[in-house]
Structures are given as structure tokens and as C-alpha cells.
Structure 1
């Protein structure tokens, strides 16, 4: 299975004492059932090719992600800069890859240190 096998062959016999070259080493019904279960278990152990988060990881993912936050108090109309914006946990707010879009814009409100930053906190015009 690990190398892509799709067909498995196993010699089967009703009685190990029957005449012929294969019966003595062939699987009887009990051994065949064990073999089939072992193949099924190996298939389950391989898992899926898709790499997806587990239910627990999905439930807690926001706690481990980061958001854009004020790293110090920001006054209304103060320009956003690397000195007043940073990223912290939890990740329930604006994603860090959007932080650069705030630099050069003014704050539309007073923002306390540690508070999540939102798109509405950014004034639309560039600071001159």
C-alpha cells in the first residue's frame, strides 16, 4: 500500500492437509480473516494524502494566529507606523499581511495599546 499497491494476493485453503504443493503454506479461513484485517488496518494507518487541520486545531486556530494591534496608545489623526503597530495573539482580528496598508495613513480614532486594529481605523488619505 505504501508503494501504491492496489491488489493483494494470498493463497487460501480449506485444509492444510490437502494434497498439492500450496496447501501447507496457504492461509485457512481464520488466517485469511486476520490477514484481511491487517491489510485494512495498514490502509487506515497510512491516512489520507490531504493534509488538513484536526477538529481540535480548527477549534483553536484563532488563538494561535496573530492579529495587527496597537503596540502603544495611538491618538486620533496620528499616522500609523512600525513604531505604533505590531502583531500579537490571538488571531481574531486583521491579518498581519495587511499591516503595511496602514503605514502612512492616520488613525480615525484613539486606540489603546493592545487593542485590535480594524480597517475602519484607517483614514483613506496618505499622510504628507
Structure 2
């Protein structure tokens, strides 16, 4: 899956500090100037799983690289996001239960997070 290339193919211009389409966030990277992280958290009803995807795009070089992704779920009782699974570019988590839960994909280096996705996936 190449999230950034698909996004770039459908987007005429990228504004680095502006959020992208639903489930995506474009955020300027702190470690790499002029680069943006593209992250998504998605629920797949067919496999009853959550996935997180992430890539970094640097417009000054045209380079697209895999971003390290932390798939996190939100605990409303504590107000804390907890990492469930992590890895480069694409991670998956099999749902345990059907509790309505808020999820996000996060990247610590770029301090970027996808928009929150709510799914019946505990």
C-alpha cells in the first residue's frame, strides 16, 4: 500500500501544515524539514481488524519513505492513547471484542497523528 503516492495522485498541491482527507493528517516533520507525514487508521470489517499506515513525503526532494507507525487506541477513562502495535509503514491489529473504541495512527518523530477513527473494535 502506498498511501502517499495515491494521495499525491489525487491532490494537485500539498499544504504541509493542513490536514488531508478523512483519516489522514499532514503535519510538518520536526526532524526532517519541509517534509510531511501521511498517516491513517482504518477499520476493516471483512477481517475485523484495525490497520495503521504511514509515509513521509519530502516535496523538496520528491522522496517518499515509509514512516514508523504506532497504532493507538484511546482509553476514555484515563484520557490516554495506548500503543497496541507498531512498525514501519503498515501495521495491523485483530480486534478483541466489539466495544466502540477511538483509534489513531501516530508517528513520534514527526509528532503527527491521523484523524481519529471510531470502530466497534476493542
Normalized against structure 1, the TM-score is what?
Answer: 0.20
Which structure features the higher share of strand residues?
2
Greater RCO structure (CA 8 Å; 6+ sep): 2
Which structure features the higher share of helix residues?
1
Determine which structure has more spread, i.e. the larger CA radius of gyration. Answer: 1
